[in-house]
Structure 1
Amino acid sequence: MTERYLKINELSNVKPVLKWAGGKTQMLNDIIPRMPKQYGKYIEPFIGGGALFFNIGPDESVISDSNPELINLYSQLANHCDEIIDMLSFYKNDEEFYYQVRAKDWLECEPIEAAARTIYLNRTCFNGLYRLNKKGFFNTPYGKYKNPNICNPEKLQMASQALRDTQIICGDYLEVLGKFAEAGDFIFLDPPYVPISDFSDFKRYTKEQFYEQDQRNLANEVKRLVDMGCYVMLTNSNHPLVHELYAPYNIEIIQTKRNINRNGNKRTGEDVIVTAY
């Protein structure tokens, strides 16, 4: 195993290209100091907005997700960044235009156009909320922002550079971890959270749902990885089920904000960071 040392990103702290409900940008100051100081590969199988991945810029990494539209974005950004930037220049912040773009099935687009569409909808929809209905169609309403930053060429180019030497995979997390995880690797897990209210949107990340049994399956996988000799860190909501499932490991409660809540008085919350090493 070649050990990789935790480092400050040489690309001047790359930022995520997407706004992401439940993204980990606000928790980076809590997460990074808890990471192992040295490790083999970096593996993140629920990549989402990728805040930690982009921030630390790991030398050898595998990122994946079960969301094919998201993975198409990262794959196209790695290889066709300039074309995406050119295409984004034609998108406008207009409500009628937004719904026309939203109505088009991304699978009917060419891959580069689909990637640009994903960025455009994310920057102009309400709160940057990626939400799919049960048929798998994006259904977040128009955000009505006066001047959203639809295209930031510098940010996209830096993210593209960070993605070029990364293995980017669309697949189930169990399959990805079963294929790639080895002793000494650092596995960062940011799964759909255990819902803490009846109105939580975090489980509507893909058209499939992430139920209690899925959380239990994930905990079993964490045990397998730890027994193998991996370093595992996991984030989730501060829920009794999470404390039950990860009782053998170190669990720390972190105060966070829930920017997606319409009620400003309810935008505070508690996450947990589980470190299993």
Structure 2
Amino acid sequence: MSAYFPKKFTTYYEPFLGGGAVFFYLAQQHPSVQVVLTDINPELINAYRCVRDKVEDLIELLLEHASEHSKDNPAYYYSVRSRSYNTDTEKAARLIYLNKTCYNGLYRENSKGEFNVPIGRYKNPNICQPELLRSVSSLLEPAQIEVRKFDRILDFATSSKDFVYFDPPYYPISSTSDFTAYSRENFKQAEQIKLRDVFAELAQRGVKIMLSNSNCDFIDKIYSDAEAFKIAHLPQQIEISASRGINSKSSKRGKVKELLISSI
């Protein structure tokens, strides 16, 4: 995938931050680039800010969670999951702890915005990695990190000096892959089409854009709509292989085919 990234750009935007894998790669390859990282999930954004600004306090709290979890008492996991914490750092430590110990590392909220994933089956989950957290904190130091909906990118990315990477909730290609409730707000067909329209508007401005999504007829169709794009060249669709660890059937985890859609 890295072979398709642009060689030169001034500002990098990632409106669906998630795990931030592309950001962490680019931050090491282009350390002088301005970075704007956003997501609709306030819990996630808070966690990133705490890693950036309060990493030592965060490490201390994660070590406490690790110590309690090592006593092999599932009740501790569920007490943390149901509890409301007061400080930003406590909330960030809760999110990271739950992510490291919940089933399959899945993030999911119910309609009330409550994390509702059961405990995973791990013998020794790596709840706290101090040196890794310090390295991540260093990479995040110059980044602007905000809670924003993805369409707000239209207020910021305006020219060919900007590079935007979209990694939205993927369009389901089967009944078992129909997971769009990353937050309490679902990401269905209407949202996928809205994202396509945002992509098209950015492409008209000359912004460098890449987007990952399911390799399926629906995604292929909406990004092949010449009327929606109104530019001389439709975005390129590239089939790539990617590793996925979330599927209701373990036999279907591993390498899967995805679409990388690029205006570059």
With structure 1 as the length reference, what TM-score do the two structures score?
Answer: 0.85
- State the AA in 1 paired with 2:207: C
Indicate the residue corresponding to 2:105 in structure 1. 128
Mapped pair 1:186 → 2:163: yes
1:149 to 107, 121, 126: 126
* 8 A contact 1:95–1:144 mirrored in 2: no
Which of structures 1 and 2 has the bigger CA Rg?
A: 2
Indicate the residue corresponding to 1:219 in structure 2. 196
- State the AA in 2 paired with 1:62: V
SS in 1 for 2:64: coil
Indicate the residue corresponding to 2:251 in structure 1. 265
Q: Share of identical aligned residues, percent?
A: 39
Indicate the residue corresponding to 2:48 in structure 1. 74
Indicate the residue corresponding to 1:65 in structure 2. 39
Q: 1:202 to 1:53 in 2, by over 3 A?
A: farther
Q: Tell me the distance in 2 between the aligned counterparts of 1:164 and 1:257.
A: 28
- State the AA in 2 paired with 1:85: I
Deviation, structure 1 residue 178: 2.1
Question: How many residues end up aligned between the 2 structures?
Answer: 244
Indicate the residue corresponding to 2:182 in structure 1. 205
Indicate the residue corresponding to 1:47 in structure 2. 17
RMSD: 1.3
Of residues 240-249 and 196-205 in structure 1, the stretch that sits farther from structure 2 once superposed is: 196-205
Q: Tell me the distance in 2 between the aligned counterparts of 1:33 and 1:257.
A: 17
- Structure 2: gaps of 5 or more residues: 225-233
2:144 to 167, 174, 181: 167
Mapped pair 1:102 → 2:81: yes
Deviation, structure 1 residue 55: 1.7
Deviation, structure 1 residue 243: 0.6
Indicate the residue corresponding to 1:256 in structure 2. 242
Mapped pair 1:195 → 2:172: yes
Q: Tell me the distance in 2 between the aligned counterparts of 1:241 and 1:32.
A: 25
Mapped pair 1:35 → 2:9: no
* 8 A contact 1:131–1:201 mirrored in 2: no
Indicate the residue corresponding to 1:16 in structure 2. none
**Per-residue CA shift, 1:133-154, capped at 9, x if unaligned?**
1111111111121111100001
Q: Tell me the distance in 1 between the aligned counterparts of 2:190 and 2:219.
A: 12
- State the AA in 2 paired with 1:97: Y
- Structure 1: gaps of 5 or more residues: 1-30
- State the AA in 1 paired with 2:74: E
* 8 A contact 2:154–2:202 mirrored in 1: no
**Per-residue CA shift, 1:177-221, capped at 9, x if unaligned?**
122212120100001111112232541100001111111111111
Q: 4+ residue stretches of structure 1 with deviation over 6 A?
A: none
With structure 2 as the length reference, what TM-score do the two structures score?
Answer: 0.89
Indicate the residue corresponding to 1:10 in structure 2. none
SS in 2 for 1:143: coil
